[in-house]
Amino acid sequence: MGKVYYVSKNVGLGMLVLAVAALATIIALSIAYDKERAKNRGKPGDEATDSTSMPPPPTTPFIPKEPWDHYRLPDSLVPLSYNVTLWPRLEPDARGMFVFTGHSAVVFRCVKETDLIIIHSNKLNLTTFYGHHAKLTGLGKATVPTIQKSWLVVKTEYLVLQLHSRLAVGSLYLLYTEFLGELADDLQGFYRSEYIEDGVKKVVATSQMQATYARKTFPCFDEPAMKAVFNVIIIHDRATVALSNGRDIDTVDSVIDGVPVSVTTFEPTERMSTYLLAFIVSDFVKIQSTQNNSLLVRIWARRKAIADRQGDYALSVTGPILQFYEHYYNATYPLSKSDQIALPDFNAGAMENWGLITYRETALLYDPMLSSTGNKERVTTVISHELAHMWFGNLVTLQWWNDLWLNEGFASYVEYLGADYAEPTWNIKDQIILSDVHKVFAVDALASSHPLSRREEEVNNPAEISEMFNTISYSKGAAVLRMLSEFLTEPVFAKGLSSYLNTFAFNNTVYTDLWDHLQKAVENTPGMHIPHTVHNIMNHWTLQMGFPVVTIDTRTGSITQKHFLLDPDSVVDRPSQFNYTWFVPIKWMKTGVEQQQYWLLQKTDINSQMRVSGEDWVLANTNVSGYFRVNYDLYNWDRLLSLLSTNHQALSIINRAQIIDDTFNLARYNQINAVGYACGMGVEGCRELIKSWYRQWMENPHHNPIHPNLKSTVYCSAIAFGGVEEWDFAWRMFKNATLASEASRLRAAMSCTKAPWLLNRYLEYTLDPTKIRKQDATSTIQYVARNIVGMPLAWNFVRARWGYIFQQYGKGSFSFSNLINGITKRFSSEFELQELKKFKEENLHVGFGSATLALEQAIEKTTANIKWVTENKAHVLKWFTEESK
Ligand SMILES: *[C@@H]1O[C@H](CO)[C@@H](O)[C@H](O)[C@H]1NC(C)=O
Ligand SMILES: *[C@@H]1O[C@H](CO)[C@@H](O)[C@H](O)[C@H]1NC(C)=O
Ligand SMILES: *[C@@H]1O[C@H](CO)[C@@H](O)[C@H](O)[C@H]1NC(C)=O
Ligand SMILES: *[C@@H]1O[C@H](CO)[C@@H](O)[C@H](O)[C@H]1NC(C)=O
Ligand SMILES: *[C@@H]1O[C@H](CO)[C@@H](O)[C@H](O)[C@H]1NC(C)=O
Ligand SMILES: *[C@@H]1O[C@H](CO)[C@@H](O)[C@H](O)[C@H]1NC(C)=O
Ligand SMILES: *[C@@H]1O[C@H](CO)[C@@H](O)[C@H](O)[C@H]1NC(C)=O
Ligand SMILES: *[C@@H]1O[C@H](CO)[C@@H](O)[C@H](O)[C@H]1NC(C)=O
Ligand SMILES: [Zn+2]
């Protein structure tokens, strides 16, 4: 799945840069002053590790007795193929409900003797045959046992058939079901999306199966390792087009139950996982091209969006990116076509369904006249991310969700490589430092963080599975894989990768399979040497949480590592088999000496080459290629800072940014920032200029005089300076917007008002899907929370309506944990901490679902923030005042 970009890259650069920079500065200063503080307090300054304390208690005391009480399928049956027919109704039935009907036949093999058939089925009304929910037949010579009874288990989402006798090992059987489901607007499984075009309401049937919603569409063995071939048929209105993973091979008109319909048959899929299936019926149109006379590449969207040429850019980058991956993976694109479709209602940023990728409109559509460069960058990276999955994740799939970090971390890393190939002038590879590495540093520096890798038995039910879709999996995963590729070198990394993909094509793996193939690549490369096996080195980064801060004393050449904690006094009660030390690959350079590689393998070491004097400096972790922070003695810090001010060309952009922190990187995209900064700083004339632009637009709504790259800042500022008139105008433009990225900018800008009643009204709108789409509700609340005036309002709003919000949005959505993160980001007072704790207590009966971990992190971050504010206020103020002289 693509990341949920709840912060569009340009949104709020004006107002938010300062807040982000201040936070980042505090984190950076934490290193610089750590030593001093430790000295002042007479603290030994050693790690807070305590490996003797108890591990956290297990989360579920419930002990399953019967096979159908387990969330994992038994290992007795293995599916081979399905024939699935689906018929979504895009008009409501007599009850006013939208439904779909269908039937499915699954062929499976019995591999262990059993008298039970357990298959996933959720929220489907199954037709009964002679009192049972399915028909069972034997294939070939298999004699078929009769069904004794059948029932549905709501908790574990199963259909269970108890047989009179056992199935025979090695034999094939066929299970047939007929079902009726609701085509709800819940963004899960086979669902309904509505939009208005030319004043007419239109309905799309579409799907989102990851992680556990295929079972809400048809009864299936819904686990990623249960790969099978799918023969799909979709029945649909004659005025619509049906899409699925395979290429459509036949569409015929027919009349079924007296209804004139079209019946579209798709080519059989490759052997694939259920979570990658997709079914879509719409009246969308397409643009297409053919790669090398054989591969069909198509972009689908609303008619108006295609007519406005909003799909052209996506079509133009897809070819080059596919070509890049074919070369990088040394494996041809595994399917006969590549469809990408932009949907008006979509929960994640995008979803990598094999051969039919679904996107939010903002992640696929781009209008050269109206969109900003930030929109374009997002389109490129999201497409690149999803296409990377076509091989890594789809062709070769991790066996279970505990290894999700490898799938998502990998795509989040190589998305920059693919995007760089398509747009070589953007220097997009630098972006990973800001968008992933620094972002996850902030979370992984908490004592409540968790290791990347989880054991298979720790992840079972749907809530636990969706909790895996978090920043640690995506961004830390990306950061450690980038580090691995850097120390192996890209050619060796790619060689191992290619061998892994070709070995396990159409099959499943565990993460150590990748390590094994990379190790083989190392061994087959003459002259290549690493101090331990890939497996051993990576265990230090995946099996223990956190990351080290490496301290280099350039006066002595001594190097030490220590678990970096945002609050150095926090207690780490999670034991680590490596005692929170890492095998650290350090790329470094010094005055007059080219980059070299050094491995820190113990807690402390001496490297005499790192001893310098006079004006000479040492810079370690060049280009932030390693997942760790670096601290130096104060003399070296001084020399680096003066190097920056006198001769900053000596350092690459990434290294400069690393030294004086994220602010540098943010200050690159530049005119946008200039306006934002100027207005933020109260620069004379800035306000008037912005107001006049916006006013011109209000006077002539058909002509927007504001440059696309400045829109985010200008809208936000104009609404912040203005009143209800400016706000209501933005609302009208929002409702009328035909370009999703324009709607998205306006939606963010409306949160900039300083009027509490407007903010409260806006918050109320988020719970009304006719006003704010469900997919956008949680991010809108977060936008409001980022406004200083809005933060307490959003917090009160979420607390007061927790039960409802949880029920509507809490069942396994990634953006839901971001909601808690977003609202509590700036909490830094004792009062807020108490409120958080009270909130946790009062809503224990409702639960927190996929936001459970986020809540714990919020409590810890607030505690750490309180400390920092108390201890470092003076330092930070001093730093700011001195810097601004
Ligand atoms: C499934 O569909 C395929 C392809 O149309 C067909 O050959 C096969 O007989 C069908 N199998 C069953 C069990 O319906
Ligand atoms: C499924 O059956 C239940 C109980 O009869 C009914 O309430 C529900 O509406 C049915 N679902 C659909 C989609 O018709
Ligand atoms: C298309 O063919 C060219 C030249 O044969 C090759 O370099 C390229 O990788 C191919 N691209 C795809 C996507 O197959
Ligand atoms: C690419 O794959 C081919 C065939 O699978 C193999 O012979 C070749 O060595 C591979 N190239 C690289 C660079 O791995
Ligand atoms: C998948 O991998 C397993 C384990 O390596 C192997 O036994 C099996 O034959 C493979 N299946 C296919 C279809 O390649
Ligand atoms: C971790 O520390 C404990 C106690 O100091 C020691 O017994 C153990 O060997 C250490 N383990 C490793 C992997 O260094
Ligand atoms: C750092 O990255 C930049 C741009 O990606 C590259 O040009 C430069 O060679 C790298 N520097 C080092 C020391 O790796
Ligand atoms: C609202 O949208 C319609 C249809 O796209 C368009 O014709 C009209 O000009 C828009 N109104 C404004 C004020 O932009
Ligand atoms: Zn992904």
Mean pLDDT throughout 872-876?
58
Closest by Cα among 344, 308, 348 to 203 = 344
Q: Is residue 370 part of a domain?
A: no
Q: Which two tokens stand for residue 848?
A: 């927190």
Q: Is residue 138 part of a domain?
A: yes
pLDDT digit string, tens, across residues 777-830: 888 999 998 888 888 889 889 888 888 888 877 665 556 777 888 888 878 888
Mean pLDDT throughout 521-529?
95
Q: Is residue 218 part of a domain?
A: yes
- Measured by CA distance, the residue closest to atom 7 of ligand 4 is 330
- Measured by CA distance, the residue closest to atom 2 of ligand 4 is 330
**Spacing, Cα 183 to ligand 2 middle (Å):** 12
pLDDT digit string, tens, across residues 442-480: 889 888 899 999 999 999 998 888 888 888 999 999 999
**Spacing, Cα 406 to ligand 6 middle (Å):** 28
pLDDT of residue 104: 98
pLDDT of residue 594: 86
Atom of ligand 2 nearest to the CA of 99: 13
322 lines ligand 3 (CB under 6 A): yes
**Spacing, Cα 526 to ligand 4 middle (Å):** 17
Q: How many Å apart are CA 488 and CA 528, to the nearest integer? A: 8
Of the listed ligands, the closest to the CA of 95 is 2
DSSP secondary structure, 790-829, as one string = HHHHHHHHHHHTHHHHHHHH-SS-HHHHHHHHHHHTT--S
Last residue of some domain: 250, 267, 283?
A: 283
Q: Cβ(177)–Cβ(103) under 8 Å?
A: yes
Q: Which two tokens stand for residue 714?
A: 């200008």
Minimum mean pLDDT range among 31-45, 283-297, 424-438, 703-717? 31-45
**Spacing, Cα 505 to ligand 5 middle (Å):** 9
pLDDT of residue 653: 61
Q: Which two tokens stand for residue 471?
A: 């920043």
% of the chain surpassing 70 pLDDT: 85
Q: Are strands 507-509 and 396-398 parallel, antiparallel or unpaired?
A: parallel
Assign 90 a pLDDT band (cuts: 50, 70, 90). Answer: very high
Mean pLDDT throughout 190-203?
90
DSSP 186: S
Mean pLDDT throughout 55-61?
47
pLDDT of residue 569: 77
**Spacing, Cα 293 to ligand 3 middle (Å):** 10
To the question of whether residue 389 is assigned a binding role by annotation, the answer is yes
Q: Is residue 248 part of a domain?
A: yes
Q: Is residue 854 part of a domain?
A: yes
pLDDT digit string, tens, across residues 377-409: 899 999 999 999 999 999 999 999 999 999 999
- Measured by CA distance, the residue closest to atom 8 of ligand 3 is 323
pLDDT of residue 858: 85
Detail the DSSP E strand segments found in 89-154. Answer: 99-110, 114-120, 125-126, 135-138, 147-153
Q: Cβ(281)–Cβ(240) under 8 Å?
A: yes
Helix 511-523 to helix 490-503 angle (10° resolution) is 130
pLDDT digit string, tens, across residues 617-649: 898 998 889 999 888 887 887 787 677 666 656
Q: How many Å apart are CA 76 and CA 460, to the nearest integer? A: 18
CATH of the domain at 206: 2.60.40.1730
pLDDT of residue 11: 28
When the pLDDT of each residue in the chain is averaged and rounded to a whole number, the result is 85
% of the chain surpassing 90 pLDDT: 58
Does 689 or 869 have the greater pLDDT score?
689
Atom of ligand 3 nearest to the CA of 332: 14
Mean pLDDT throughout 42-61?
36
- Measured by CA distance, the residue closest to atom 8 of ligand 4 is 330
558 lines ligand 4 (CB under 6 A): no
* Pocket (CB within 6 angstroms of ligand 2): 99, 125, 180-182
**Spacing, Cα 710 to ligand 7 middle (Å):** 30
Secondary structure (3-state) at 850: helix
Detail the DSSP E strand segments found in 382-539. Answer: 396-398, 507-509
Question: Tokens 């694939």 map to which residue?
Answer: 272
Last residue of some domain: 239, 265, 283?
A: 283
Atom of ligand 3 nearest to the CA of 326: 9
Atom of ligand 6 nearest to the CA of 581: 14
pLDDT digit string, tens, across residues 226-255: 999 999 999 999 999 999 999 999 999 999
pLDDT digit string, tens, across residues 125-149: 999 999 999 999 999 887 899 999 9
Is residue 35 over pLDDT 60?
A: no
Helix 774-786 to helix 756-765 angle (10° resolution) is 160
pLDDT of residue 62: 60
- Measured by CA distance, the residue closest to atom 7 of ligand 3 is 323
Is residue 698 over pLDDT 80?
A: yes
Q: Is residue 216 part of a domain?
A: yes
H-run or E-run covering 879 = helix 852-883
The sign one gets for the Cα dihedral 137, 141, 142, 143 is positive
**Spacing, Cα 785 to ligand 5 middle (Å):** 49
Atom of ligand 2 nearest to the CA of 93: 14
330 lines ligand 4 (CB under 6 A): yes
Mutate to test the pocket of ligand 2, among 89, 125, 186 (most ligand atoms within 8 A of CB): 125
Assign 3 a pLDDT band (cuts: 50, 70, 90). Answer: low
Closest by Cα among 871, 882, 877 to 33 = 871
Mean pLDDT throughout 480-498?
97
pLDDT of residue 813: 57
Mean pLDDT throughout 256-285?
97
Atom of ligand 8 nearest to the CA of 198: 4
* Pocket (CB within 6 angstroms of ligand 7): 429-430, 595, 622-623, 652, 654
Mutate to test the pocket of ligand 8, among 702, 733, 736 (most ligand atoms within 8 A of CB): 736
Mean pLDDT throughout 562-569?
83
To the question of whether residue 326 is assigned a binding role by annotation, the answer is no
Assign 657 a pLDDT band (cuts: 50, 70, 90). Answer: low
**Spacing, Cα 323 to ligand 3 middle (Å):** 6
pLDDT of residue 238: 96
507 lines ligand 5 (CB under 6 A): yes
Question: Tokens 């936001």 map to which residue?
Answer: 851
Mean pLDDT throughout 582-606?
94
To the question of whether residue 327 is assigned a binding role by annotation, the answer is no
Q: From residue 446, how far is each of 50, 349, 455, 833 by CA, in Å?
A: 15, 27, 21, 16
- Measured by CA distance, the residue closest to atom 3 of ligand 8 is 736
Mutate to test the pocket of ligand 7, among 417, 482, 587, 652 (most ligand atoms within 8 A of CB): 652
For ion ligand 9, residues whose CB falls within 5 Å:
1, 408, 411
Atom of ligand 6 nearest to the CA of 579: 1
525 lines ligand 4 (CB under 6 A): no
Of the listed ligands, the closest to the CA of 407 is 9
Domain that holds residue 802: 671-884
- Measured by CA distance, the residue closest to atom 2 of ligand 5 is 507
pLDDT of residue 12: 28
Q: How many Å apart are CA 477 and CA 458, to the nearest integer? A: 19
**Spacing, Cα 430 to ligand 9 middle (Å):** 20
Is residue 39 over pLDDT 80?
A: no
Q: How many domains does the chain have?
A: 2
231 lines ligand 1 (CB under 6 A): yes
- Measured by CA distance, the residue closest to atom 8 of ligand 7 is 652
Mean pLDDT throughout 518-526?
97
Mean pLDDT throughout 543-559?
94
- Measured by CA distance, the residue closest to atom 14 of ligand 4 is 495
Q: Is residue 250 part of a domain?
A: yes
Mean pLDDT throughout 274-295?
94
CATH of the domain at 801: 1.25.50.20
Q: Is residue 108 part of a domain?
A: yes
Of the listed ligands, the closest to the CA of 655 is 7
Mutate to test the pocket of ligand 3, among 321, 326, 391 (most ligand atoms within 8 A of CB): 326
Measure CA 513 to chain center: 24
Does 762 or 566 have the greater pLDDT score?
762
Minimum mean pLDDT range among 47-56, 218-227, 650-659? 47-56
Biggest CA-to-CA distance, the chain: 91
Active site residue ranges: 386
Last residue of some domain: 220, 254, 283?
A: 283
What's the predicted TM-score (pTM) here?
0.81
Is residue 359 over pLDDT 90?
A: yes
